């Protein structure tokens, strides 16, 4: 009976909404124009540090003059989420047009509806749940008849300010993505871009914003509250508490960059320059009725085609890595051409979705036999690595989705190399031809690889596995999955048979 009650409202005709061009008096436009050859190339600033990445978003919001377009899988109701939402409200109050598109799986209803009650703000939910929004469990129960659609989620992460600068990569908006959680934080990266690729990113945003799968927030969340009441509630939510405190930044980030605000005040950005293309799955992927249909729309197919062009080496960071039979064949073919392949992923102890590790572990021996170098991030070693700048009490988990080919071409985006990215979620990515950016990504991943991860290899018998870790003075060799409790192992083994690989 509950399932029979669940349905989405009919979408009324909406005027097409397009990204706005920056006005001549836009501070950001002036800085971008002064920073390099924006008409012919793309400028990149890699952001491996969470503190700096959050501050960059706030700095861009505070300086935006005309428009802010944000597309995210998750904006949490925590310090970081409230700080960003508060900054968006302030921008709207000074006349900036704000468009926020968020996937509806983890929506903080009061936060997003409150923001949408302000002038100059539009909020839309992508692929929403129909009703019973009192809890996640209630939403799921009320939508059991629509599970096929709701299993597809918008995993894209994109931030565009004044149509001239953008941030994209792996980070959602929540404390753990910006190294502000006391329990566990993600080792992640995203990139600030200006130049020609931003126009393409804006077009991709518009495609999602105007799709029939994006619903105005008031059409989905409605409780009779007046706009004035919603605004007052929002103000209380974001103006009180720790999110009011400014983000505390170290003097420089992992790559030696100072705060972005300093560059913006100076009037010129310190960037690496090259060329780039951006691409995304079509929003209609959420309505695919089969894995093959979804795969035909997948960004992952583009990336695997790109991997096949490698001439010397390939470095991959994928926190959730389940290559599947076809992926394993692709890597095997590359190794037969003597392409060096290095893959960094999560260990079982570091993985926040342990069942995904089961899918990965099925292919681990075959990957090693093919000659692939495997590294698995350690939660405790990354926690203790000062260069990663994680709080001392928090565990580290890999979340960076990136790859470097032949030390010159870089992939950064939202996509994991797993079946869910391939056939269930929509994803966004960018390929950049820029040796300087490639060197920076390699440097960041090497820090995690050498200082914060286990190197997986065969033991002397050529069959069993070993995990190697070094601290600069001695090497530690382990013969079983490191940092795993018996309870973790038992839970994973009990659940694994009931989860198809296609859902991992």
Residue 287: CB partners within 8 Å, gap ≥ 6? 149, 152, 213
Number of C-beta neighbours around residue 471 at 10 A: 10
Question: Which residues are CB-contacts of 299 (< 8 A; sequence separation ≥ 6)?
Answer: 279, 280, 281, 413, 415, 421, 427, 428, 429
Q: Which residues contact 68 (CB under 8 A, 6 or more apart)?
A: 61, 88, 91, 96, 97, 98, 99, 159, 160, 161, 162
Closest CA to 189 of 171, 173, 214: 171
Residue 78 is a catalytic residue:
no
Catalytic residue among 139, 213, 285, 399: 399
Cα-trace Rg, the chain: 22
- Residue 61 to residue 180: CA distance in whole angstroms: 20
Residue 158's SS3 state is strand
Catalytic residue among 139, 152, 401, 449: 401
Secondary structure E strands in 306-452: 313-317, 340-346, 373-377, 395-398, 402-405, 409-413, 428-433
Q: How many residues does this entry show for the chain?
A: 504
Q: Out of 55, 162, 188, 418, which one is annotated catalytic?
A: 162
Q: Residues 346, 348, 353, 354: is their CA dihedral positive or negative?
A: positive
Catalytic residue among 139, 152, 157, 213: 157
Distances in Å between the Cα of 494 and the Cα atoms of 346, 354, 355, 488, 503 are 20, 12, 10, 10, 17
Please state, in angstroms and rounded to a whole number, the distance separating the CA atoms of residues 110 and 100. Answer: 14
CA distances from 151 to 75, 144, 145 (A): 19, 11, 12
Residue 271 per-residue DSSP state: -
In 3D, which of 201, 185, 189 has the Cα closest to residue 80?
Answer: 185
CA neighbor of 173 nearest in space, from 61, 234, 82, 48: 82
Catalytic site includes residue 455: no
Q: What is the per-residue burial (b if ≥16 Cβ within 10 Å, else e) of 346-363? A: bbbbbbbebbbbbbbebb
Q: Assess whether 97 carries a catalytic annotation.
A: no
Q: Which residue out of 218, 406, 439, 455 is catalytically annotated?
A: 406
Which of 155, 213, 285, 449 is the catalytic position?
A: 155
State the chain's maximal CA–CA distance in angstroms: 71
Q: Determine the Cα–Cα distance for residues 336 and 114; give it in Å rounded to an integer.
A: 56
Q: Would you say the C-alpha torsion 198, 199, 200, 206 has a positive or negative sign?
A: positive
For residue 272, the cross-strand partners are 44
Distance, in Å, from the CA atom of 194 to the CA atom of 37, rounded to the nearest integer, reads 10
Closest to 453 in 3D by CA, of 373, 362, 363, 365: 373
401 catalytic residue (yes or no) = yes
Q: Just list the catalytic residues.
A: 155, 157, 162, 399, 401, 406
């Amino acid at each position: 009976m509950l399932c029979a009650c669940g349905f989405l409202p009919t979408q009324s005709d909406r005027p097409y909404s397009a990204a706005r061009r920056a006005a001549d008096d836009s501070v950001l436009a002036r800085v971008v124009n002064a920073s390099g050859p924006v008409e012919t190339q793309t400028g990149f600033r890699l952001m491996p540090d969470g503190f700096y990445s959050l501050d960059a978003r706030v700095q861009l919001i505070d300086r935006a003059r005309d428009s802010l377009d944000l597309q995210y899988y998750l904006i949490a109701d925590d310090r970081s989420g409230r700080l960003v939402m508060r900054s968006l409200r302030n921008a709207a109050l000074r006349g900036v047009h704000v468009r926020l598109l968020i996937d509806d799986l983890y929506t903080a209803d009061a936060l997003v509806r409150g923001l949408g009650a302000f002038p100059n703000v539009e909020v839309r939910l992508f692929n929403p749940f129909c009703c019973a929004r009192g809890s996640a469990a209630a939403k799921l129960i009320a939508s059991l008849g629509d599970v096929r659609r709701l299993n597809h989620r918008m995993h894209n992460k994109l931030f565009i300010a004044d149509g001239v600068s953008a941030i994209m990569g792996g980070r959602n908006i929540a404390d753990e993505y910006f190294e502000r959680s006391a329990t566990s934080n993600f080792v992640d990266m995203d990139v600030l871009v200006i130049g020609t690729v931003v126009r393409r990113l804006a077009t991709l945003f518009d495609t999602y914003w105007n799709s029939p799968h994006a619903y105005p927030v008031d059409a989905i969340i409605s409780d009779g509250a007046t706009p004035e009441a919603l605004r007052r509630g929002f103000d209380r939510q974001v103006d009180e508490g720790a999110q009011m405190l400014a983000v505390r930044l170290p003097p420089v980030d992992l790559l030696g960059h100072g705060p972005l605000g300093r560059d913006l005040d100076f009037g010129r950005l310190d960037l690496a320059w090259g060329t780039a293309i951006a691409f995304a799955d079509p929003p209609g992927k959420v309505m695919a009725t089969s894995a093959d249909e979804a795969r035909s729309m997948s960004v992952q197919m583009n990336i695997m085609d790109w991997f096949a062009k490698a001439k010397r080496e390939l470095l991959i960071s994928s926190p959730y890595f389940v290559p599947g039979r076809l992926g394993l064949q692709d890597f095997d073919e590359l190794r037969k051409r003597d392409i060096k392949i290095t893959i960094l992923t999560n260990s079982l102890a570091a993985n926040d979705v342990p069942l995904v590790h089961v899918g990965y572990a099925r292919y681990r021996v075959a990957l090693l036999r093919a000659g692939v170098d495997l590294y698995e991030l350690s939660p405790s070693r990354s926690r203790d690595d000062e260069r990663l700048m994680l709080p001392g009490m928090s565990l580290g988990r890999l979340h960076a989705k990136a790859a470097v080919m032949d030390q010159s071409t870089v992939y950064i985006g939202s996509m994991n190399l797993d079946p869910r990215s391939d056939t269930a979620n929509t994803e966004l990515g960018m390929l950049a031809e820029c040796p300087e950016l490639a060197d920076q990504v390699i440097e960041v991943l090497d820090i995690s690889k050498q200082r914060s991860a286990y190197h997986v290899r065969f033991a002397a018998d050529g069959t069993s596995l070993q995990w190697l870790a070094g601290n600069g003075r001695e090497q530690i060799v382990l013969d079983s999955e490191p940092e795993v409790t018996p309870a973790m192992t038992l839970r994973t083994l009990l659940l694994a048979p009931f989860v198809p690989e296609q859902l991992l």
